[in-house]
Structure 1
């Protein structure tokens, strides 16, 4: 074999090895919940679809395995992680417009309307991807996780009832403003500190979807669950943009198809989950009190929410106004589509 032939053969082998490695990579995906909670169920379906339709492997990292929310976002932006699932509640510091999901009483409670909105919204599918791209992130999808409930140590039925009550919030400026408007004392804390802070009365309340209240046993350190109808928890699945842009069209299609399948799966999975979680809590702690405020009782909270919407616009300027206007238009279309 001549030197030229050997060189050609070696180069061909190296290229084949590189191609094989590209075809069979391990992709890392971190999220903010446990493996059996909503984000974990979505991630497992995504993993199943990707692995069934490609040579790639998805390695999943549930909450706590790679640190807090801020840690996994940094790892996604730096390329250590290929995928990350994080609520706009945490991403709001990077992308102020994403805080629109925390404008109280903006999102509807009807689950069918919500699903249609998240699937078809121009704001989500066309406007937000550009904002995420500026932060080195490819926005793959957003999805709802359930109506947000407030758990407290004492009952309340009005903003006056939340006076001086310290309610834990995510480190999100608009969420802080929401609870201030609702009469409470907002107290931003990392999630890992919440149970202990409630146990020692450093805080007296927190908010989350009902499945999360049940799975994290927040009912053990609070006594009242109140639904004021102010929000539905939203989360976003993203990829590191450099990683995503470096993929072939076929690989991007595999990811897109897996995201679509996981979205449909998680919407179906959540059907009845809110009610099932309430029943589990009642069984574990019969003394737990559940209250859903009437429309009349919600009126003072809705009135307070108007100031929060204005605060969002002051934080985000013209860009925030465009996002909010488009979201309201998208919501109207989703409502007419599901009711028609």
Structure 2
């Protein structure tokens, strides 16, 4: 057993004992980012709302305190955690249909359209909850975290520029296919290994929202930031389903209200977040090259997206096809 494994195991054992003693009056919530990043801000708002409107308390566990993303998902499914925030980038191996968020150029770049989609989507609010429930999870909400940017060590204007570039992706089969289609060599890595792998040139690229690139200082170990307009990072708040279903209706309502409040808060919080983060990166590293691909330069990347969409349907069958069709209908409604 490694030291990290022993620490996590000890923490989990302590939490399990606490759960029995507290009868779930203290609810545990883990997420994939730091406390002051987007998921952390959402979690803090959720905690404040729950504690202001009930006798319960929320204990927050930022990234790394309980292991990697796979660890916190296992703990949520086991009931050790009551809440978990995880991107479909990791949940996709558990719920294949969730990989739809990695079909390039599916989500709009316009913020108002995007927010309308997340508020009103039939696919997100009616179809996905059933898929999550089958895995012992109550899907409370999904929300966007910002336009995804690539950072690399050399300029990228076309898929040819990504040839032989080892590009870090989350452990998600469809994201692997996306970067194959984009011309790169996709390299799945846990988040904790990314900075060091870029620093030692094991990989030469990665993708994340600009605010995350700034807060984690990934710009220190890359030289170019590229905006191809290909995606917006999505994440999801879930509860352990057995825990949630056993709650009194009043507590379920508290959770629902806290989720709604945190959702609206985080959309407003992100309004200028990415542009402010980019300015901070340029100030910290003036030599950082910023490339915004033209429509002409984006065309071959968009053409590759068709292949990824076909792969998604092959991976997920009729269920995935229905999800994708409904999402397209929801997105068209948001555009109106």
Same fold (TM over 0.5): yes
**Partner SS state of residue 27, structure 1:** strand
2 CA distance for matches of 1:55 and 1:32? 26
> How many pairs were matched up?
316
Name the counterpart of 1:50: 50
Name the counterpart of 2:6: none
Name the counterpart of 1:90: 90
Name the counterpart of 1:110: 110
Bigger Cα displacement from structure 2, 50-59 vs 289-298: 289-298
Name the counterpart of 1:11: none
Q: Alpha-carbon deviations, 1:20-54, whole Å to 9, x = none? A: 965x7000000000000000000000000000000
**Partner SS state of residue 202, structure 2:** coil
Q: Residues 86-165 of structure 1 correspond to what in structure 2 (within 5 A)?
A: 86-165=86-165
Question: In the alignment, is residue 186 of structure 1 matched against residue 186 of structure 2?
Answer: yes
2 CA distance for matches of 1:165 and 1:299? 20
2 CA distance for matches of 1:170 and 1:107? 19
Q: Residues 1-340 of structure 1 correspond to what in structure 2 (within 5 A)?
A: 25-336=25-336
Q: Alpha-carbon deviations, 1:159-211, whole Å to 9, x = none? A: 00000000000000000000000000000000000000000000000000000
| Higher radius of gyration, 1 or 2 | 1
Instruction: Quote the RMSD (CA, aligned, Å).
Output: 1.0
2 CA distance for matches of 1:95 and 1:262? 24
TM-score, normalised via structure 1 length: 0.92
**Partner SS state of residue 67, structure 1:** coil
Q: Alpha-carbon deviations, 1:261-282, whole Å to 9, x = none? A: 0000000000010100000001
**Partner SS state of residue 81, structure 1:** coil
Q: Please, which runs of 5 or more residues in structure 1 have no aligned partner?
A: 1-19
**Partner SS state of residue 108, structure 1:** coil
Q: Alpha-carbon deviations, 1:291-317, whole Å to 9, x = none? A: 110111100000011000000000000
2 CA distance for matches of 1:320 and 1:335? 22
TM-score, normalised via structure 2 length: 0.93
2 CA distance for matches of 1:179 and 1:88? 17
**Partner SS state of residue 157, structure 1:** coil
2 CA distance for matches of 1:320 and 1:334? 21
1 CA distance for matches of 2:129 and 2:330? 16
2 CA distance for matches of 1:279 and 1:194? 23
**Partner SS state of residue 168, structure 1:** strand
Bigger Cα displacement from structure 2, 288-297 vs 135-144: 288-297
2 CA distance for matches of 1:227 and 1:146? 12
1:21 and 1:67, CA in 2 relative to 1: closer, same or farther beyond 3 A?
A: closer
1 CA distance for matches of 2:157 and 2:324? 29
**Partner SS state of residue 186, structure 1:** strand
> How much does 1:218 deviate?
0.3
Q: Please, which runs of 5 or more residues in structure 2 have no aligned partner?
A: 1-20
